[in-house]
Amino acid sequence: MNSELPSIIESLIFTAESALPVDRLCELLGEFERDQIKLALAELVAHYQERAGGFDLVEVAGGWQFRTRPVFHGYITRHIKTRMSKFSQSALETLAIIAYRQPITRAEVEHLRGVDCGGVLKTLLEKHLVRILGKKDIPGRPLIYGTSKEFLEVFGLKDLKSLPTLKEIQALDAVPQYERQEELQLEPDKVIQVENQLPLE
């Protein structure tokens, strides 16, 4: 393998505005085989993991991107407070419904939420977290919505299969086994004698 290939890939990913897919890397680096590019990516991933620095090379939104390590997020938010996006409860609920039920129409989202969500949908579209996939082939031809590549990037997901399952979400609320154990009841007629002093040797 060309010893410069990992460095070339590193520079391309570093200067990319969004996650860079392997297909795009192959287009840009036509003089290299796909397997060579994949191997160079694996080397880079291992290098950054071993380095344990401030950021890693991770696969997200169908491509590769440098991401700060989660352990340092508290420090990073001090620096970029004004750029942080805050989501209302209604926006998160709507986004979750779209993420798990897509492709989905506005009427279907509103049926599940029980309230109008036109304003929330508009906000999610403006933030590029949701996109219009087309029109449903039913009377009225309503728009169909789905999540975007930016959604995957914001939430650090490799693809939609990386979304947590219902069981994983329920497990977060489950009380650990050791916290659910009942206290052992002593028989009332038995008294445990406790020695006040330890025997001296």
Closest-CA residue to 61 (of 132, 194, 158): 158
The C-alpha atoms of residue 121 and residue 131 are separated, in whole angstroms, by: 10
The whole-model pTM stands at 0.53
Q: Can you tell me the mean pLDDT for 4-15?
A: 92
Dihedral angle of Cα 183, 186, 187, 190, to the nearest 10 degrees? 180
| Domain end position, chosen among 74, 108, 132 | 74
Q: How many domains are contained in the chain?
A: 2
- Main-chain dihedrals φ then ψ at residue 143, nearest 5 degrees: -70, 145
- Say yes or no to pLDDT of 7 above 70: yes
Task: Tell whether 13 and 59 lie within a shared domain.
Answer: yes
pLDDT of residue 104: 92
| 200 found inside a domain | no
pLDDT of residue 105: 92
| 39 found inside a domain | yes
Q: Can you tell me the mean pLDDT for 65-84?
A: 75
Q: Can you tell me the mean pLDDT for 73-102?
A: 79
Contacts of 102 (CB under 8 A, 6+ apart): 133, 145, 146, 147
Q: Can you tell me the mean pLDDT for 41-70?
A: 89
Q: Can you tell me the mean pLDDT for 170-191?
A: 55
The per-residue pLDDT of the chain, averaged, comes to 81
Q: Where are the strands (E) in 29-101, listed by range?
A: 55-60, 63-68
Contacts of 112 (CB under 8 A, 6+ apart): 97, 101
Residue range 107-165, pLDDT digits in tens: 999 988 888 888 899 989 988 899 999 998 888 889 999 999 888 888 878 888 888 88
CATH of the domain at 114: 1.10.10.10
Under the banding of pLDDT at 50, 70 and 90, the label for residue 24 is very high
The C-alpha atoms of residue 165 and residue 159 are separated, in whole angstroms, by: 13
Task: Tell whether 10 and 68 lie within a shared domain.
Answer: yes
| 164 found inside a domain | no
Task: Tell whether 60 and 27 lie within a shared domain.
Answer: yes
| 94 found inside a domain | yes
More confident residue, 163 or 195: 163
| Residue 103 preceded by cis peptide, ω within 30 | yes
Q: Are 88 and 59 in contact (CB under 8 A)?
A: no
- Say yes or no to pLDDT of 177 above 80: no
pLDDT of residue 52: 85
Q: Which domain holds residue 93?
A: 89-154
The C-alpha atoms of residue 24 and residue 4 are separated, in whole angstroms, by: 18
pLDDT of residue 194: 45
Task: Tell whether 44 and 93 lie within a shared domain.
Answer: no
Determine how many CB atoms are found less than 10 A away from the CB of residue 176: 7
Task: Tell whether 69 and 94 lie within a shared domain.
Answer: no
The C-alpha atoms of residue 201 and residue 84 are separated, in whole angstroms, by: 66
